[in-house]
Amino acid sequence: MADIQTLQKLSTQVRRDIVRMVHAVSSGHPGGSLGCTDFLVALYNGVMNHHPKNFTMDGIGEDLFFLSNGHISPVYYSVLARCGYFPVEELKTFRRLNTRLQGHPTTHDHLPGVRIASGSLGQGMSVAIGAALAKKLNKDNSIIYSLHGDGELQEGQIWEAAIYAAANKVDHYIATIDYNGRQIDGDVENVLSLGNLKAKFEAFGWQVVETEKGNDMTSVIEGLAKAKTFIGKGKPIVNIMKTEMGAGVDFMMGTHKWHGSAPNDEQLAKALGQLEETLGDY
């Protein structure tokens, strides 16, 4: 695992990539992307065992990650590129005609690192469970990870999957919830409250781990390390991770307004002023 400072530098660069990508095409989802940056940077740079230079769809012997909330594709693409799945300069093709970096991730164009299309919400947990079952049949002890938005938990399929994973003891699987409390129409609490999320997952038979500071690298790594201690203990694991939508760019925080809006030129300049170029822009 890289040291905390190195990971933080990478996070800052990924955040620059995110705002530049969505600005360039005046579309995309910066808010959730910025909020999940620290998590994905940690996951792909030390937590997961994976082989960016030798991508295979089956990923035998590798840990696998599934992005269920596909709209945060900017952070996903930046993290994948910056750990070597594809050239960093390809980020400039995001959402443009003929790109492999579609608005929402897809396997359709064979982008290394992506194993399922996502965008229509609520499907990724089922897919992750299926991949976990395949691992078990293949006697492969690797871990399956997935990420879901909190608003996404309003989809019924999530709870079908949650029942299944607990009943069948899918215990080499860690689902993380991006618990930022915001969705397109406003606060999750006001749109459709999730109630006591921890109690819900516990009642469904899951092992719950809470990451209180999902935008603090140390806290993110500790949360994932704690989640891993429950691997193989008979329960699926959920990591409820509190994040701030828009984290790292002050005017994008504290509101749901940047869920799916891109900054203009002035706003981009302001955002980049808060994010030091650490590893070179694409």
Partner 1 sequence: MKKYTYTEKKDTRSGFGAGLQQLGQTNPNVVALCADLIGSLKMDAFKAENPDRFFQVGIAEANMIGIAAGLTIGGKIPFTGTFANFSTGRVYDQIRQSVAYSGKNVKICASHAGLTLGEDGATHQILEDIGLMKMLPHMCVINPCDYNQTKAATIAIADYEGPVYLRFGRPTVPNFTPADQKFEIGKAVMLNEGTDVTIIATGHLVWKAIEAGEKLAEQGISAEIINIHTIKPFDNEAILKSIAKTKCVVTAEEHQMNGGLGDSVAQLLSRHTPTPQEFVAVDDSFGESGTPDELMTKYKLDTIDIIHAAHKVIKRK
Residues at the contact surface with partner 1, assessed by CB under 8 A? 57-60, 64, 66, 106-108, 115-120, 122-135, 137-138, 140, 156-157, 160-161, 163-164, 168
- CA 26 to chain CA centroid, Å, is 22
Ordered alpha helix ranges (H), 51-107: 73-82
Ordered alpha helix ranges (H), the chain: 4-25, 30-35, 37-42, 73-82, 124-137, 156-167, 188-192, 197-203, 217-228, 265-273
Number of Cβ within 10 Å of residue 18's Cβ equals 33
Q: Tell me the helix, strand and coil percentages in the chain, rounded to 5.
A: 45, 10, 45
Joined together, the tokens standing for residue 77 give 């693409």
Closest to 28 (Cα-Cα) out of 267, 260, 279, 275: 260
